Amino acid sequence: MRFFSHQRPEIPIVDHIKSDGTEWTIKEKLWLGLSASDYFKQFFRNPVNWLMIGIFAVGVPLILQRYIYGLAAVTHASNDYPWGLFLGFGLFGMVPLSASGFMLGTTCELFGRKDFHPIERLALLNGLLGYFFAVLFLEVDLGMPWRLPYPMFVSLGPAAVLFLVAWHVATYLSVQIAEVLPAFFEWIGWLKGKRVIRKMVLGLTIAGIILSTLHQGALGALFTYAPSKVHPLWLSANFQWIHFFCSSIFAGLSMVIVSSTLIRNFAGWRCDDTFKNSLDDITIKLGKGCSLAMITYLVIKIVAIAHDQEWAYLLTGWGSYYLLELGVGVVLPMFMFATAVRNNSATLARAAAWITVFGIIWNRLNTSMITYNWQLYPEIPHWKEVWITVTIYSLYFLTYRFIIYRLPIVYNWKGKK
Amino acid sequence: MKTTVSRRTFIKGGLAGTVAATVLPEKKSQAATFEGYPDGMGVLVDLTRCVGCRSCEAACNEEQKLPQPEKPFDDFSVFDEMHHGQKRRTDETRYTIVNRYDVPGLDHPLFRKIQCNHCQEPACLTSCFVNAYTKTPEGAVIYNPKVCVGCRTCMIACPFYIPTFKYSSAFNPRIMKCIFCYDTRLKEGRPPACVEACPQEALTFGKRNKLIEIGRQRIRETPDKYEDHIYGEHEVGGTAWMYLSSVPFDQVGFDTHVPKEPILNYVKDFLGIVPMVLTIWPALFAGFHLLATRKDWLKNKNEDTHEEE
Ligand code: SF4
Ligand code: SF4
Ligand code: SF4
């Protein structure tokens, strides 16, 4: 961002008022206070954007192909493997990584921990976007995407786990929109709206906890419909929902660490000093939370194996794979987090967070695709399926960045609040 | 009939409650086990009688107006077809399939007909979030394409890999599966097309309870000929279509690891906590909040009183 230099002290925009006393218009705010040509110059100077253009150039036609010729044209979804990457990664992976919103909402609003305040909005935004894009992934995967509201309004099957997921994700999305709105209201300068939401914050937060506990768990419970298909090590009828819920705690926290790291490193111009100066400290505290959640998770994983008498499976090939997943995805980062806390090293905590995020996606893919049908044959996703997944994830990235650049998420609004 | 519906209503009460966040679930004492409709019909498939003529496949194809297959129904080379190391399976063009199994030590092959087993407590039905499936009192598990969203959870849930999806269609996809010829035959009390077409009487149509008796009788009368087991009597809580075999069932492609109880039982643990979370969480966390912020609150109050003085 070389354009944000000393010659124009009023950008990046942090206030309604320009240095000459006039107000920024919304349009100017959207352009980050730059002229169109400057904006595009900086846009095309960034190699990441070229990568995005490349991804979209192939991905958008593929998505069109999916909607014109059906799922068979772009995926390897089959009668044996009804779910592929769109849900395996997009739904089962994105949702736990978005647990950050409810985690930090609870910490700040409910437990009154003001020290986490600088990162609260980022966590809420991370949650909102994660859920929103999980729904988008779902819309690519559903056979009849135009019937998305059916389970809500047209034909209700309230005894099904997916019914609960649908309702909760929908309600929780609205809760999260409400939680992120204050940042938007500050930015456009509509303070009345902000005050209204401020009054509801406690209610929203508690609703967030309930909905999150239930739907994070419900995503796990979905697999208990297939007790003879998913490998027993990855499935526990009694504990599946706790496994999914508990792992979403460290998944969400790690995802905020990852995204705050990226923002600090690549969008440092947008962060204010409060954010930058408190970030290391917050990262370590979040790391502490992660390591605690991880040890709990490990314990209930072991309890599940003991409960279902599955020790013998651990000696098989799948058992080694299972131990590898737990070792790399949970035990390793757990020790890294613990060491990071002891040595006060934010860098180590950040490395651990990256591994955790990878580990959680790996676990969800293992449950939904890799060990699913372990007695049949393995299925490898179509390259187009992979590409569409990457395309939608890129759209997620761009939206995320678009909002971070503009709304007061990692900086404090200087104008009236 | 009262007890048969009450467990579902119980669970519905629980989950619907999560949405409205008001209703408490009904009393647990009502939670009896749903055992299907007592007078439901079924079919008993006797593997020792089946000769693999595929007449049943042809009859199904015609009755359900499915597309003509590439190879005609009298082409027996289809038995050698393999896909991903698996034998043929049902798909959007065929609701039923007959496969050949060469069992070691047996001088002739065995054939097994596959179709929807029309479970007593169907996993497809219980997993569907728009209630697209219905178990009719006659015993059929039917599907309503008008409300299906295409999430394919039913395919995940069916322990027999039966529902298939029209992946080839972008605008009109749907689940395709055997419906026991419900609309055209079963409703009027007539046997499905495949049963009528079978020249070997390998398929016996009748009341499910009666079929279990017939099966037991055949086993009792010729114990050397049969495995002492009716596949489907207890599998996944019981199915309307059941099987007799002369060799252990896993040697003729049956999944003998499917649970002996309804799939729904595996999901109940989670369903049970839902009302709990709903009722306890709000109070619990509101309490936490008060505790955690007590100091601030006291401070504010003190300041207020100071101001007043
Ligand atoms: S066999 Fe599968 S599709 Fe048929 S009723 Fe049972 S669960 Fe449903
Ligand atoms: S694919 Fe259709 S029938 Fe199957 S669970 Fe989803 S909505 Fe129900
Ligand atoms: S029609 Fe009867 S004998 Fe012929 S394949 Fe079908 S079940 Fe077997």
Is B301 part of the contact surface with chain A (CB cutoff 8 Å)? Answer: no
ipTM entry = 0.88
Please report the beta strands in chain B, taking only residues with DSSP state E, as ranges in sequence order.
Answer: 41-46, 97-101, 110-114, 133-135, 141-143, 164-165, 175-176, 203-207, 241-244
pLDDT per residue, tens digit, chain B (309 aa), is: 333 334 444 444 444 444 444 333 333 333 334 556 778 999 999 999 999 999 999 999 999 999 999 999 988 888 998 888 889 999 999 999 999 999 988 889 999 999 999 999 999 999 999 989 999 999 999 999 999 999 999 999 999 999 999 998 888 899 999 999 999 999 999 999 999 999 999 999 999 999 999 999 999 999 999 999 999 999 999 999 999 999 999 999 999 989 999 999 888 888 888 888 888 888 888 888 888 777 776 776 666 555 444
Q: Under a CB-based contact definition with an 8 Å cutoff, are residues B165 and B150 in contact? A: yes
In a domain, A255, yes or no: yes
- List for chain B the helix, strand, coil content (%; round to 5): 40, 15, 50
Question: What is the span of the domain harbouring residue A314?
Answer: 85-406
Q: Backbone dihedral region of B231: left (phi > 0), alpha (psi from -120 to 50 degrees) or beta?
A: beta
DSSP state of B69: P
pLDDT per residue, tens digit, chain A (417 aa), is: 555 555 666 778 888 887 777 888 888 888 888 888 888 888 888 899 999 999 999 999 999 999 999 898 898 888 999 999 999 999 999 999 999 988 898 888 888 888 898 999 999 999 999 999 999 999 999 888 888 888 888 888 778 888 888 888 888 888 888 888 988 988 888 888 888 888 888 888 888 888 888 889 999 999 999 999 999 999 988 889 999 999 999 999 999 999 999 999 998 888 888 899 999 999 999 999 999 999 999 999 999 999 888 898 899 899 999 999 999 999 999 999 999 999 999 999 999 999 999 999 999 999 999 999 988 888 889 999 999 999 999 999 999 999 999 899 988 888 776
Q: How far is residue B110's CA from residue B103's CA, in Å, rounded to a whole number?
A: 7
Is A374 part of the contact surface with chain B (CB cutoff 8 Å)? Answer: no
DSSP state of B43: E
The dihedral sign for the CA sequence A362, A367, A370, A374: positive
Chain A residues touching residue B89 (CB < 8 angstroms): 79-80
> Nearest CA to CA, how far is B188 from chain A (Å)?
27
In a domain, A42, yes or no: no
Between chain A and chain B, the number of residue pairs with CB atoms below 8 A apart is 203
- DSSP string covering B212-243: HHHHHHHHHH-TTTS-S--BTSSGGG-BSEEE
- Distance (angstroms) between ligand 2 centre and the Cα of A168 equals 18
Q: Which two tokens stand for residue B186?
A: 């079963």
Atom of ligand 2 at shortest range from CA of A162: 5
- Distance (angstroms) between ligand 3 centre and the Cα of B141 equals 22
Ligand 1 neighbours by CB, cut-off 6 Å? B 116-119, 122-124, 141, 158, 160, 162-163, 177
Check CB contact under 8 Å for A159 and B85: no
* Cβ neighbour number for residue B223 with a 10 Å cutoff: 10
Alpha helices in A189-327 (DSSP H): 191-221, 240-266, 273-307, 317-326
Q: How far is residue A129's CA from residue A127's CA, in Å, rounded to a whole number?
A: 6
What is the residue extent of each domain of chain B? 41-262
Q: Which two tokens stand for residue A382?
A: 């179509």
Is B143 part of the contact surface with chain A (CB cutoff 8 Å)? Answer: no
Question: pLDDT (tens digit, 9 = 90+) per residue, A263-294?
Answer: 999 988 888 888 999 999 999 999 999 999 99
The three-class DSSP label of residue B41 is: strand
In a domain, A342, yes or no: yes
In a domain, A36, yes or no: no
Domain count, chain A: 1
DSSP state of B79: G
Q: How far is residue A266's CA from residue A247's CA, in Å, rounded to a whole number?
A: 28
User: Which H or E run contains B268?
Assistant: helix B264-292
Q: What is the 3-state secondary structure (H, E, C) of B188-213?
A: HCCCCHHHHHCCCCCEEEEEHHHHHH
> Nearest CA to CA, how far is A78 from chain B (Å)?
8
Q: Which ligand is nearest to the CA of A163?
A: 2
Check CB contact under 8 Å for A143 and B153: no
Its pTM stands at: 0.88
The three-class DSSP label of residue B112 is: strand
Q: Which two tokens stand for residue A129?
A: 């976007």
Question: B41-262 domain in CATH 3.30.70.20?
Answer: yes
Chain B residues touching residue A300 (CB < 8 angstroms): none
Check CB contact under 8 Å for B86 and A377: yes
Q: Which of A227, A263, A208 is nearest to A98 (CA)?
A: A208
Alpha helices in B21-78 (DSSP H): 55-63
What's the angle, vertex CA B203, arms to CA B197 and CA B205, rounded to 5? 95
Q: How far is residue B291's CA from residue B309's CA, in Å, rounded to a whole number?
A: 28
Contacts of B38 (CB under 8 A, 6+ apart): B209
> Nearest CA to CA, how far is B208 from chain A (Å)?
25
Check CB contact under 8 Å for B150 and A147: yes
